[in-house]
């Protein structure tokens, strides 16, 4: 199930990154119409999605290969949400200082980081071992 969800999200990132970016902008910013994405933002999003799809399809343990990077991202987001947000905005937008972030975004960034860390560290570890008997 996790494999299919990850594959679906990766394909969405490849095929329609605007379907992720535009709703996220409306949710996160007081003034989403003022944001100007840098020319590389959507192509890098597509590349990220392609990498996720490639890892999941190519490797039998594709999901587990993504757990450590996800946990590392989670640490950064959970421990330094303002810095992470500022860095992300400066990377993705040509005018990051013009964007007004809604008040709930920083706590949500910390919570998302904690979730990523938990998923990266503990995903799949609760499954019963396969002893080969039926």
pTM: 0.79
Residue with tokens 């005018």: 95
Cα Rg of the chain, angstroms: 17
pLDDT at 31: 97
pLDDT digits (tens, 9 = 90+) for 71-122: 999 999 999 999 999 999 999 999 999 999 999 999 999 999 999 999 888 8
Cα separation values, 97 from 28, 36, 77, 93, Å: 14, 11, 20, 9
């Amino acid at each position: 199930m996790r494999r299919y969800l990850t594959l679906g999200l990766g394909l969405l990132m490849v095929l329609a990154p605007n379907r992720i970016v535009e709703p996220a902008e409306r949710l996160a910013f007081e003034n989403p119409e003022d944001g100007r994405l840098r020319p590389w933002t959507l192509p890098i999003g597509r590349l990220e999605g392609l990498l996720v799809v490639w890892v999941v399809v190519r490797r039998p343990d594709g999901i587990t290969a993504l757990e450590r990077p996800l946990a590392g991202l989670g640490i950064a987001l959970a421990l330094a949400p303002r810095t992470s947000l500022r860095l992300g905005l400066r990377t993705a937008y040509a005018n990051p200082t013009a964007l007004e972030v809604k008040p709930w975004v920083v706590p949500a960034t910390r919570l998302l980081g904690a979730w990523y860390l938990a998923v990266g560290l503990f995903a799949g570890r609760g499954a019963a071992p396969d002893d080969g008997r039926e």
